[in-house]
Structure 1
Amino acid sequence: MSSTKSERSNKVVAGVCVAFVAGMVGMAYAAVPLYAMFCKVTGYGGTTQRVDQYSDRVLDQKVTIRFNANTSGGLPWDFKPVARDITIKIGETAQAHYTATNHFDKPTYGRATFNVTPDLAGAYFNKVECFCFTDTTLKPGETLDMPVVFYVDPDIVNVPELKDVKTITLSYTFFPIEGAKPVANAPQAGDLKTNEKTDGNLGG
């Protein structure tokens, strides 16, 4: 009898351990998308917001948006913003352009991530159109124009830590991805405010 109880107890303990390990593995797989969702909703870590409509309110207060570009993982692209910065009114919809050129003798594939600094501003930096998280293919020597359409939510002035912010930096980093992917079609935006000043030396 004692031996039977001991075996049952061992089986219960083993079952609990297996369930615990399985639960931890499941949580590990779920952690990344859940964290991404959390960042998207809250703007945590400088994650910008994706919206489907333009701002309906423009303030008589200006902010300068700086643009940063990087590549990682040995991706052989010359990736940069066409303009280093643009000054707009808060709530004003604007358009900026990045370009990427493949310097390799074969097609290469990349995908961009992004963030905004200061981090808290991410919740108020709204992108209407962008190329982020799109699998992008560049042929040898090909250059792709990639516009970003955005505005800064006027509610940013109601946040004590951000009401006096004068500069927001939008940074993109392209990472290499494996295999043949569909060529990304750069979104075509309307006649929006752009800045013609170029800076060909901007890197990271």
Structure 2
Amino acid sequence: MPSGNRNKGVALALGVLAVGMVGLAFAAVPLYQMFCSVTGYGGTTQVAEANPKGVIAREMTVRFDSNVDKTLPWTVKPASPITDKIGTVDTVTYVATNNSDKPITGQAIFNVAPDLAGVYFNKIECFCFTEQTLQPGETVEMPIVFFVDPDLADDRDLATVKDITLSYTFYASDSEGS
């Protein structure tokens, strides 16, 4: 093979490799999010419509936490801890106040600790699924309807876990109203 053809082949292979790497870089975030939602990795919770598995005798305390990014002028009070039998569908409420003099749109991201419990934490309804716009000085209640999957009791790694923490970080959204 003449030297010129070999150089063209190498250049073509390197070009294809570069384009492939750029494509993988763009696909990395959605693929990682899909992986986390399926496995519960990193404390990612599940989404459910109801609890089809029933309630078991083991109790679990769920604690709630909130953090607000410094660019979001909101105060957010988390729900009080709740102790209930695993599988019970519970509703709790966070309370958010817009401390600014203009409408502000925010959103929350969440995780569960311990991380392994994320796959068993199921949200039926959650304010985190949508952006929230609060008017100046407005205070709103933001409910979460959830249950802990009874299959958690079969996970040896979580046999001694008595507490789960659902934590939200609130941040300003890029949408209008922010």
TM range, smaller chain: over 0.9
Residue identity in the other structure for 2:60: V
Residue 108 of structure 1 corresponds to which residue in structure 2?
104
Query: Structure 2: which 5+ runs fail to align?
Result: none
Q: Which amino acid aligns with 1:135?
A: E
Deviation of 1:176 after TM superposition, in Å, equals 1.3
Contact 2:53 2:149 in 1 (8 A): no
Q: What is the TM-score normalised by the length of structure 1?
A: 0.82
Match of 1:17 among 8, 14, 19: 14
Q: Does 1:158 align with 2:154?
A: yes
Residue 131 of structure 2, aligned match among 112, 128, 135: 135
Equivalent position to 1:8, from 5, 8, 11: 5
Give unpaired runs (5+ residues) of structure 1.
182-204
Structure 2 residue corresponding to 1:126, chosen from 122, 125, 131: 122
- Amino acid aligned to 1:171: S
Cα offset for 1:99? 1.4
In structure 2, what is the equivalent of residue 53 of structure 1? Answer: 50
Which structure's residues are more often helix, by fraction? Answer: 2
Does 2:116 align with 1:148? no
Query: What percentage of aligned pairs have identical amino acids?
Result: 53
Aligned twin of 2:39? 42
Given candidates 111, 117, 134, the residue that maps to 2:113 is 117
**Kept in 2: contact 1:55–1:153 (CA 8 A):** no
Aligned-pair CA distance for 1:144:
1.8
Matched, 1:81 2:78: yes
Q: Match for residue 32 of structure 1? A: 29
Preserved contact between residue 71 and residue 79 of structure 1 (Cα < 8 Å): yes
The structure 2 residue matched to 1:96, chosen from 88, 92, 98, is 92
Asked whether the equivalents of residues 91 and 153 of structure 1 are also in contact (C-alpha less than 8 Å), the reply is yes
Q: 1 CA distance for matches of 2:95 and 2:52?
A: 26
Amino acid paired to 2:99 = H
Amino acid at match of 1:119: D
Partners of 2:162 and 2:141 lie apart in 1 by 28
Match of 2:142, SS? strand
Q: Distance in 2 between matches of 1:111 and 1:133?
A: 8
Q: CA RMSD in A?
A: 1.6
Q: 1:71 aligns with which of 64, 68, 71?
A: 68
Cα separation, 2, equivalents of 1:55 and 1:73? 40
C-alpha deviation, 1:6, in angstroms: 2.1
Distance in 1 of aligned mates of 2:168 and 2:72: 14
- Kindly tell me the number of residue pairs found equivalent between the two proteins: 178
TM-aligned CA distance change 1:6 to 1:73, over 3 Å: farther
Query: 2:172 matched to 1:176?
Result: yes
CA distance in 1, matches of 2:119, 2:53: 17
